[in-house]
Amino acid sequence: MQLLRRFDERAGELYGAGQIGGFLHLAIGEEAAIVGATRALEDRDWLLTTFRAHAHALARGSEPARVMAELFGRVGGLCHGRAGAMHLTDVERRFLGGFGMVGGHLPIAAGAALASTYQGRAEVTMAILGDGASGNGVFGESLGLAAKWNLPVVLVIVRALGGYATEGDAAAASADLQRQVEGLGVKALTCNGMDVVDTQAVCADAVRIARTERRPVLVQAPTLRAPTPSPTAPRAAGDREQIAAWKARDPLALFGDRLVEVGLVESADRARLQMQVGAVIEQAVSFAGRSPHPEPEALYEHVLAPGGSGEAWRGFDLRGTSRRAEAGPHPREASK
């Protein structure tokens, strides 16, 4: 959680400084939900998420340096600068990414679960989404079919109040939403998204049910995101009261205090941890800064499968005569 928090704070600064571009959706305030949910997964399980992807990648264990390099748009990034924060992917950690289109990842998650089941593997697929995505039809379509086909999918809705975008009544878990999905034959649970322990426990339960009973499970995780005006001005803002109100519920502070209270952690350890995290992040920033920009030609890599017949196409007029790449092999050769 410390890692996600400091990373986001630093990323916000670097965004302001122009080192990071595009939309940067911070997850400050969602750390407990994100860490709790992802910790409920085993290594063999699959994870998908929204445009708020860099935090999820970190939670899933991706190297901070390669995540930061991606935000910098450099070759050292997990996706070599193609994805940015919204589309981060780390297949080694079975993190299928970062999806820019609201809700677009839900059917893909169901499909991943179908593949696991079809191949006889007891993997679970988890998709994390915002409350906004539940307003899109793919939400019900995907859950409905997952229920019908007994697919082990866990959807975790981070109901974030505060910040960008249509909030619905995001504040609390929705009883209506629960009725809707139960009508689809989906098991629905709720956790306290500001409490990492509770979130982890409930999501672990959801994962167990999905894995053993082969059915989709929905977890609602209400959270309070730090007041952020928009993804184009991601550094925490909002008036004094808002910030105070949020600070009072800051999941890191709460968890940290609790660890100290119950004597699991000395405040000294806590300080040390923070320093370690700070160091990791500075290493990430310097790695990202040193990583080279991609070459313009790299744009044409990974558009089509290497060696596939499609590659022959590249030989012919990619963008009008003046941009035509050197004529490649005749398709007849290439497609052999």
Partner 1 sequence: MSRTLTYREALNDALREELDRDQRVLLLGEDIGAFDGAFRVTKGLLADYGEERVRDTPSAPGTIVGMGVGAAIVGLRPVVELMTITAALRALDQIAVSAAQARFQSGGQLSVPLVLRAPQGGGHQLGPTHSHSLEAMLLAIPGLLVATPSTPADAKGLLKSAIRSDDPVFVIEHESLYGTKGEIPEGEHLVPFGEAVVRRPGRDLTILGISRGALTALDAADVLEREHGVSAEVVDPRTLRPLDLPTILESVKRTNRLLIVEEGWPQGGVGATIAALVLEQAFDFLDGPVLRVAGAEAPVGYSRVLERAAQASSREVAQAALTALGR
Ligand X SMILES: Cc1ncc(C[n+]2csc(CCOP(=O)(O)OP(=O)(O)O)c2C)c(N)n1
Binding site for its own copies (CB under 8 A): 135-141, 144, 176-185
Which residues inside 124-163 make contact with ligand X, applying CB under 6 A?
130-133, 160
Rounded to a whole number of angstroms, the minimum distance from the CB of residue 170 to ligand X is 7
Q: Is 46 in the site for partner 1 (CB under 8 A)?
A: yes
Residue 158 bridge partners (DSSP): 130, 221
Rounded to a whole number of angstroms, the minimum distance from the CB of residue 248 to partner 1 is 24
180 binds, among Mg ion, partner 1, its own copies, none (CB under 5 to 8 A by kind): its own copies
Rounded to a whole number of angstroms, the minimum distance from the CB of residue 234 to ligand X is 12
Could you tell me the sign of the dihedral formed by the alpha carbons of 74, 89, 43, 207, in that order? Answer: positive
Nearer to Mg ion, 85 or 160 (CB): 160
Candidates 132, 162, 216, 234; binder of Mg ion (CB under 5 A) is 132
185 binds, among ligand X, Mg ion, its own copies, none (CB under 5 to 8 A by kind): its own copies
Q: Is 15 in the site for ligand X (CB under 6 A)?
A: no
Rounded to a whole number of angstroms, the minimum distance from the CB of residue 30 to ligand X is 8
Q: Is 106 in the site for ligand X (CB under 6 A)?
A: no
Candidates 150, 265, 280, 313; binder of partner 1 (CB under 8 A) is 313
Nearer to its own copies, 133 or 158 (CB): 133
Contact letters for ligand X, residues 163-182 (x by CB under 6 A): -xx-----------------
Give the interface size with partner 1 as a residue count (CB under 8 A).
94
Contact residues for Mg ion, defined by CB under 5 A: 130-132, 160
